[in-house]
Each structure stands twice: as structure tokens, then as C-alpha cells.
Chains A and B, each alone.
Chain A
């Protein structure tokens, strides 16, 4: 993570935090308010300068750390993210929407006009882009925290890494490793349940297998995932239908390049792995 260019002049000169919302469900910023034990302490260490969900007293930039939730789906959001970047020393995107376009990126695989017509009686009132794109499509991002939703412990790690000027410890391995650390029985090996764990980014603590279900990939792709192999094993060895595989590659992180390419390859489209 790029460190703040500014040195804080006085020991009690607090770093300024901003929390921004783009197209999203609010779940990732809520994770910050869900840090019930740490929130007030955090407010002691940092000035919460802009956080509309929590305070009606926004203060103008520049900001030392911007946390950005949500994806870009309107022309106004394209403009707004550039302004925010210009105002922010360090910009961290939080969640699947901000890092991979979110569930609303399903429009990237279809004709958005069909969706508008399915939902709205007066399509002409709706102002939206044909795609939902991650923040990094539009501006430089210093660090991406994955998950739908993000894990609040990891969020605190990212914030404390920023405050201590060190890189965040957010391992890029798969959910499988977390499963082993948690002592879960492997749902794939033991029950033949199709599981996205082998290709999915760690961070959740392997919740789904702990609750007897296969991972559905809500943390997005791990570093260098072997998605082709996963597809092979799901279909040949677990008997999963292709459509189920595609649905799992194409949900909350549908626009993450590794998942997108594999889902298109499975569809017989243009994705090359």
C-alpha cells in the first residue's frame, strides 16, 4: 500500500478518514459501524472527517485515507470517483462491488435495457451506464479489500496498517487454507458438495464449509486461481451442471477478470484462460 506522502506534523495531528459510497448495498461501510468494540477507539485515533451514513457533519478534503464502497454505474459516479481520488492520499476499495463490480455487474453480461424494462415502467427516467465497473477501472487504487461483505477484522487490519505505515496482512491464499486452519471437514471430499473454496480468496474464515455448505465464491478469486481445473473437477468428478458452475462464477464477483474469463469460456464465449 502506498504510504501517505504527508508526514503528520504533530504527534497529535490525527489522520483524516473518509468513507464513500457508490453503487452498493451499504453492507461494507456498515461493517465499520459493526466494529462495536473498536469504533470509539478508532474515532480517538483518527478524525472521521467524512462518513455520511454515520454523521451529518461532513468536512472537506483532503483526506489521508479514503475507504470506497460500491461500483461505478452512472456517469456522475465516474466524475465523483476522480474528485475523491484527487482529494485522497491513500485510497482503499472495500468489498466485491468496489473491487469487482458487485452483483450489479451481471448487467455486463446482458443488455441493461432489458433489465430496466423488467423493473421500471418509465425507462426514460433511468440514468445508468451499461456496465458496472470496479473503482480501479477509473482511478488508481492503493489497496483492495475483497469480500461481499468484507470481513471487519480485515478492515481494522487495513486501517491499523495504514496508521502504522506498514503493508496490511491480508493473505491472498484460498478459502481451502482457512478451512484447514478452522479444522473444518472438507465438504467436497467428505460429502461431494461442489465448493468454490479452491479458487476463492481467503478472508471470511471459511464460513460456508463450517455450516455444511459449499463456498459460493463471495470473496472473489484468490491470487492466480486455477479456475479451469475447478471447472473440470466440478463437472467431471462432482457431476455439477455447467449452469450451476457458471452461476457460481457469475454472482457477486462476476466482473473479476479470473471469474469472468472462466465463465465466458464455459459458455463457449470469448474468454481465454
Chain B
């Protein structure tokens, strides 16, 4: 007779959006892993049809309040591609600056408020603040510095209003950026402390065997750590321009999820996000960040997903360093935006959201109305990898008491900073142990 045990958690906390997890296992192995995403669909790709192409950055920002800049950036790049617009370097630099702001605020939110409580054993940052007030205070003020960038360049932190196809509505003077510089220098010092603190956290040991190694996928650019541009590369030799995305990646609709599952055609699951960027672009990080990583003994290639909190903190440090550089080298663009005749076309855009590669494709007609939209969010690309992690991890942690095992599973999901709102909601955890009597 088979005896089964079930553990249930109603709702996965500290993720953006709503999802559930179902795992069925016994001593012989894991039988079923399903990351279920119940976030009610909002149909962006549907209702964007017929809308003006200029609305894309304002509308797609509303897919996710945590990383609106990422949506705006991928959207404007795709539209500019469709129209054949090339932006001058000064406008690119400003876009990079606003993206630095989003990386800082989003990563810091994840590091301090969503993920650190897992490592330190608290239900959340507010509870953690009772014992570690300084840590939480520091996190909040680092986050505030990131928000200050987005607020200044974007007009507000959530759903900025200043990004448009061709550039910005208004560009700041060099003088306006100066007060930010002080705040960023202080933030950079605190980010350095964050790296130091993050490497000292207790990490579960989890490395995949060589044969089960991840395929990391990220943008890569000849002389930039990737944010806004580059080609798509992977640790298994993929190297394609963004416009070829659709011929290498495929989305499938599975019954238990309102987010589509992405796979690499004929290869399967892949991994996007900070670890993928870091592993594929280590040499493009600023010397200071590489030096700090080296001093902490943190390697240039990292395959333990629980270390993602360290990689995120290195990226926060990088974003501060980069933002200060961009401000120091800032030259106010001659015009806030460039425009072109509206004409029919198809455009492709991919940028690096804090959670990873975010791909947009649009077709527009001669009147500039969108005829087709396709958006692939980072979380839908990582879903299969998250499920694989749980499948491989569970046997190693099966000896743990159930409560701990469940916490470990939740933590493993949070390694990916999954943004369920983005990918389309409810994280219900359902861990089922099937116990067999020996036969």
C-alpha cells in the first residue's frame, strides 16, 4: 500500500505575483514538479493590436511595476528597429543610466527584502529589522538611491513617463545630475558592504553534475556589460542577433500555468538572469567590481543558484559604478529624441531586465498601428530551469524535516527572483511525499 504525505502552503510569499508549487516524491525519487502560475492573464499582446506604436513604452510598463524600465527599453528598441532609427550615443548613455537605476532598486528589493530573510530565517524584512536594523536600513537606502535615478530621469519610480520611442521627452542638464552623484557615491560604498555581507551568508550546497549543467543565456556586447543592447549568446555556443530569437526559442502553453514556457529549440531549458549575465560577461564588468569579487574569493563563473544573491550584489555594485561614470561623462544630447517617418515594419528588441533577457517583437502598419506584438518575459524563460532545480535538489535535501524542506524549495524558487506578474499569479505550495512499504 502506498502512503502519501502532503505539505501545503497556500501562497508563495516574497515573489512578485501569484503562483503555486506542486511536488510529488518518495524515497526513490521525484515524480512530479510543477511550478504553477495562476496569475490571471492580462492579455497585453492581445489588446496592443490596433494601438499606436508610440504607446508601447507606456502600456508595456504596466506589465510589471517592479521592472517597468525593462519593458520600456525593450519596447522602444523594437520600435526603433522597425522604423530604422539609430540613436546617438548620448541618448544611449542616458538609457543606460536609467537602467542602472532600475537594476539597483529591483536587485536591492530582492536581496534585502525578498531573499535575505530566507538565509537568516525570517518571514520578511520587517521582522528581520527587529534583530538586524542596520542591514535593513542599509538595504532601504541603497534602494532609494536606485529609485532616485529612475525618479529623476523617468519622472517617477513606478511606470516612468519620460521614456519614448527615439529617446526621451526631456533630457536633464549636467547640473541636474550632479546632486545624484553624491548619493550614488555613498550608495556605491554601501553596495560594497552588501557584497561583503552577501558572501558571508550560509549557502546550501547545490551544484549540478557536469552532464546536467545549465545553459546560461544572456546578451553580450563587444564593450559593455549588457543592459540595453547586444547579441544573444549562451554557454553552449549560441550566438545570434536578437532578430533571430524566434527561430531558436519556442514558447509552449502548458495546462497548469498561465505563463508560457520557453525552451531552446531541440535543447530545452535554459537560464537567464544575473548569473547568466555574469558568467557570460565577467570580463565586461568594471575593474573595481572584478577586484572586489576577487578579494572576496568569488569566482568568475558561478553555478550554484543560491549564490545568485552574491551575483546580484555584484551587479548592484557595478550599476553604481557605471552610473557614476555615466554622470561624469555626461554630455547633454542636442535633442531629447529623434523621429522618423512612420512606416510599416517589424522590429525586434531584447534588453536585460534585472531578472534576465526580455524580448519584444512588434509589427506595425503604415499608420503606425501595432498589428502584432510578442513579449517573452524572463520568468517564463526560467520556469523550466526552476522546475529542474527542484527536481535535482530534492533528493539531496530529502532528509530534512518537512518544514525545512519546504522552506528550501521556496528559497530555491526565490533564487530566480521570479516575477510572476510579468510572466502573466497564487503560489500555493503542495509538496507530496509518497511513502511506499517495501515490496
- A residues engaging B (CB < 8 A)? 21, 23-31, 33-34, 36-37, 39-40, 43, 48, 51-58, 73-74, 77, 102-104, 106-107, 110, 112, 114-122, 125-126, 128, 148-149, 204, 207-208, 210-213, 216, 218, 243-244, 247, 251-252
Contacts and interface: CB of A to CB of B under 8 A. Distances in A.
B159 A149 contact: yes
A24 B421 contact: yes
B397 to A, nearest CB: 18
A81 B47 CA distance: 26
A30 B65 contact: yes
A43 B136 CA distance: 13
Interface size of B as a range: 35 or more
B55 interface: yes
9 contacts: A26-B16, A27-B64, A30-B109, A54-B125, A103-B42, A103-B44, A125-B254, A216-B161, A251-B58
A128 B17 contact: no
Sorted from nearest, which 8 A-B pairs have the closest CB atoms?
A27-B65, A115-B46, A55-B124, A57-B123, A56-B13, A115-B43, A118-B46, A149-B158
Interface of B: 10-18, 39-47, 49, 51-52, 55, 58-59, 62-66, 68, 105, 109, 113, 117, 123-127, 129, 133, 136-137, 140-141, 143-144, 147, 155-159, 161-162, 164, 169-170, 252-255, 258, 260, 336, 410, 421, 425
B161 A40 contact: no
A226 B21 CA distance: 49
A30 B40 contact: no
A43 B11 contact: no
Contact of B13 (A25, A48, A53, A244): A53
B60 to A, nearest CB: 10
Contacts of B170: 211-213
Given A43-B126, A116-B46, 12 more contacts: A21-B17, A27-B66, A48-B126, A55-B125, A57-B13, A103-B47, A107-B43, A107-B46, A126-B258, A148-B62, A213-B164, A218-B159
B52 A247 contact: yes
Contacts of B141: 36
B144 A36 contact: yes
B255 A53 contact: no
Nearest to A150: B158
A247 B55 contact: yes
A55 B14 contact: yes
Given A21-B18, A207-B155, A74 B40 contact: yes
A107 B421 CA distance: 18
Contacts of B258: 125-126
A62 B124 CA distance: 21
Given A25-B65, A27-B158, A212 B336 contact: yes
Contacts of A27: 62, 64-66, 68, 158-159
B129 A43 contact: yes
A125 B425 contact: no
Given A106-B47, A119-B43, A149 B169 contact: no
A211 B155 contact: yes
Contact of A103 (B12, B62, B144, B252): B62
A207 B160 CA distance: 9
A114 B46 contact: yes
